[in-house]
Every structure is written in structure tokens, then in C-alpha cells.
Amino acid sequence: MTKPDLNTATTPEAKAEVAAAASGGCHGGKETMLEAAKAAGKSDVLEKLAKDYPQGPHDQPQSMCPAFGSLRVGLRMRRTATILSGSACCVYGLTFTSHFYGAKRTVGYVPFNSETLVTGQLFEDIRDAVNEMADPESYDAVVVINLCVPTASGVPLDRLPEQINGVRVIGIDVPGFGVPTHAEAKDILAGAMLKRARLEAEAGPVARPRSLDTDMPSVALIGELFPVDPVGVSAMLKPMGLSVAPQVPSREWRDLYAALDSVVAAAVHPFYTSSVREFQRAGRPVVGSGPVGVEGTADWLNAVGKAANVPTKQIDAAKVAATGAIMGALAENIIDATVTVSGYEGSELLVARLLVEAGARVPYVGTACPKTEWSQQDAEWLDSHGVHVQYRASLEDDLYAMKDAKPDLALGTTPLVQAAKEMGIPSIYFTNMVSARPLFGPAGAGSLAGIVAAQTKGKERFTKMLDFFGEIGTGDMAGYGWTESRVEAAKKAAAEKPAVVAATDDKSDKKASITDAKAGKEDTLKMAIGN
């Protein structure tokens, strides 16, 4: 028998039964939270999440809270307000992270306790908060994000009004127990916004995007990109008579209309399942991969041109122009090194392709994102070049591959980079160092290949570092101020400790020995404090 959710249960006992399973919050365990959410009427939501973002062989890749992805998308949009519904500790962590990434935006929060959760008052409080925030002078949309406990308790964000005072209201569930990575959580909000924008465009005229400066047919790029990349892609598309539409996730609501009005959608980040589905519903063809390296760029331009019905002559002209410049950039930044690639951004396969074309030996690439048809071409290309591709890679997968390959450089997540440095392997953080640079076209070839080439030439400095520090800071020497094993230090101190009682029957000698011992302890204490 299906248990009622918090808002349809007819008795306090029934409501308490639903809420009790979620009372453990984030520490209640994945299975417990899933069962609670199903009992609370969230089965449809969970089924959609499981279909769009299938789990891997492990519980979850080691990344940050998935909800950060959705929060990030909303915070980067103009005239968009965000409200979080979740445990206070989770909200604190998410808002802290958002400011770390330079959002400089206020995040709304609706607090709750066991009473408001059980009685359904939390939903009423959320609705009141949305009503208060929905000011058309300030916002185009208000986004409400359910975290783990509200989702597990059945808080029905789908019952919020679609708009208030002309301000759109978007409610989404982003539970950590239902969404594998924060990268995929970006798609949850982007897809929900695209769906609303598509329905608005189908219903009648919509606002013209401010960033639209051409009437040329356009290509929509799906995925967060380094700001220079869309400019570079636009230059590569120009010989085919195509331009770049505002990318998804977008910077403003009206940009969504322009993205949907494109002639082709390019899933350069292949895990945006929900967003791709909205482009397909709008009748737009979708292509995978991206313009990386010589072969990757030629294949991508060819796919985009054919999907947009561009004449072959124009496609060939675009390919010649782009690949010639890329060849020059790669020739200046040849990589003669073994490199492993790991990350959770979704661009890991594209990065690996570019490195291989630059001359690098890439035995392994791991991505926390799932396998989709939009990355299949890249996976097949990498496999043909001897690269093992690991989808839904865990930290353990990445560590094993790095230890086995013993690369000259490891690109990876924070814990992997830390482990690499402890082994004396040069390493750089994928998100901050690789994703923060151009990837596509000549700019990507020069920038990425350049930094990798520079890093692989300095391996000796890591060897010197290991030799200098030795075993300090490891094992029982971990911590501040230790230059030798704590065990050995304790044995040494015990051996050097003065005897408290002298081996004599003379009382004066005993008194002197005790005095000397006390003085020794005081000197030791003073030294410890002084150091």
C-alpha cells in the first residue's frame, strides 16, 4: 500500500510516519532517504532522476554536494533569485561554496523544524517566501531547490504557482541520494528552465535576447564553457554562415529563447540529458563531441554543417581554416609525456583527445559523469588510440590508474592531486587549472597543450621536495612541529629523563635529586612553550 505524503496524509500519525524516515537528514543513509521519498509521494521524481542520471557501480563519485550544480546555474543568471529548502548545515555549506566561487549573490533560505515538516507548514512557508520575493522589477524567475530532507519528506514544489506577478517560479528536487554529481545537477535546472522557455515560445512572441547581434542561423552550445571558447567557436563556424547562440546554461532568461531558436544543438558536455531532450522536442538536431584538436575539430564541423544543411564546399572551407591554425598551435606545444586524466566536469574525454593529438601518451581517462550517446564518438576515438575510458569513475579508480601508469603528469580532482604529489608525481587540479582555460580550436590547443608541456618538464622539483621532507608529516609524524617519529621521540625522552630518587640512603642526596628533576621538567616545559 502506498503511504501518503505530508500534504495528503489525513492523520497526524500518517504524517509523522512519513517524516520520521527523513529525520536522520543527510546522515540517515541513502536507502533510508530513498524509501522515505517514495513513501512521501516522490516516486515519479526519483524515477526520472534515475533514468536521466543512472548510477554507477559505486554509490556516488566523490564530489561536492550535487545541489551545488543547480545553485551555480541559478546564481550565474541575471534577474534570477534562488531559494534553498533544506537542513541548515547543508544550506550553510552550499552558500559558503557559492561565495567561494565568487557568486556575490544572496541566497534565500526557508528554515524548518520537525513540527513544520510534519504538519506541511514548510510548504506554506516556502510559498510565502516565493510570494515575497517575486518582484517583477527585480526578477524574471525565482528558483526553489529542495535538498535531501524536504525531498525525502515529500515537500511538493510542483504545487507552487507557475508564476507570481509575472515572475516565473521554478521548483526542482535535487537530493544527494538521487543525483550522482553536481555536474548533472546543472542539467536539472537548465532543463527545467528550457522546458518553461520552450512552452512560452510555442505559446506566442517572446522577448528578444539582448546578446543577439546577428540574424545568422546559430548553433547552441550545451555546457558551461570558458568565456573565450564560444568566441573561438563562432570564428570557426563563420565560413559556414553560422553563428553561436547564447549557450546553455544561460546568463539570462531571454537567452533561453535564442538557444532554442538555433538550427543545431551541440552537446559539448554530453551529460545534459534533460537539456538535450528539450532541444529535441523543439525539433533541433543534436550533435556530440566538440572542436578539439585537428581530427576532433574537423569531425565536429562536418557534423554541425551537415545537421544545418550547409553546402559541402562551405564545410570544407571551414575545416581547412580551423585545422590549419590548430596544427600550428600543436606543433609549438608538443607533449612528450605520459598523462592521466580524471575529473567530474564532463569535458574529460575532450581534454584527453586534445592531449593525444598533442603527442601525449594517455593510458587512462576517468570521468564521474555517465556514458551517453553524445560522448560515444570521443570514447571510440580514444579507445582506438589505446586510452582506457572509465565512466562513473570513483576516486579509487583514478588512484589505481595513476599508481599503475606512473604518469609524468596527473590531471585530476583535489584528493587525487594530493596523492600524486605525495608520490612525487606532478599534478594539477582539473577544475581550476584545466577547465579555467580555453579548450576548443587553436586557442585550446595552445593554452592546454602549453600548460601540460610546461608541467611535465618540471618533475625533478617534486623529487627534490620528497627528498627534503622525507617522512615528515606522514604516519605517526603527521601534525605540526614534529621532526621525528612520535614513538621514537617518546623513547628518547624517557631515556634522558633524570632519576627522581638517587640510589643512596642519604636524605640530603635524595632531596637534591628531586630538586634537580623538578628543574629539568621546568626547563623542558619552558623549551616546549618557547618553541
Residue 515 has pLDDT above 80, yes or no: no
| Distance between CA atoms of residues 47 and 51, nearest Å | 6
Q: What is the pLDDT of residue 527?
A: 34
Residue 493 has pLDDT above 90, yes or no: no
Q: Is the pLDDT of residue 507 over 60?
A: no
What's the rounded Cα separation, in Å, for the pair 131 and 169?
A: 10
User: Which DSSP state fits 93?
Assistant: H
Tell me the per-residue pLDDT of 326-339, one tens digit each, with 9 for 90 and over: 999 999 888 889 99
* C-alpha cell at position 319: 575545416
- Taking Cα atoms as reference points, which of 311, 265, 278 lies closest to residue 201? 278
Across 231-262, b (16+ Cβ under 10 Å) vs e yields: ebbbbbbebbebbbbbbbbbebbbbbbbbbbb
pLDDT at residue 436 in the model: 84
Q: What's this model's pTM, rounded to 2 decimal places? A: 0.83
CB count in 10 Å sphere of residue 331:
12
Single-letter code of the amino acid located at 337: A
d(CA 144, CA 96): 18
Q: Is 429 exposed, middle or buried (CB count within 10 Å of its CB: 0-12, 13-18, 19+)? A: middle
Residues near 482 by beta carbon (within 8 Å), at least 6 away in sequence:
472, 473, 489
> Residue 389 forms beta bridges with which residues?
365
pLDDT per residue as tens digits for the range 462-487: 666 666 656 656 666 565 555 566 56
Cell numbers representing residue 31 in the block = 536507502
Q: What is the mean pLDDT of the chain?
A: 85
Q: Could you tell me which of 162, 171, 143 has the C-alpha nearest to residue 81?
A: 143
Q: What is the C-alpha to C-alpha distance for residues 294 and 315, in angstroms, rounded to an integer?
A: 15
* pLDDT surpasses 80 at 457: no
Share of the chain above pLDDT 90, in %: 61
Between strands 286-287 and 108-109, the pairing is: unpaired
Which stretches does DSSP call E strand in 42-140? 80-85, 108-109
d(CA 399, CA 396): 5
Question: Which string of DSSP letters, residue by residue, matches 308-328?
Answer: TT--HHHHHHHHHHHHHHHHH
Under the banding of pLDDT at 50, 70 and 90, the label for residue 32 is confident
Q: Give me the sign of the Cα torsion angle 449, 451, 457, 463.
A: negative
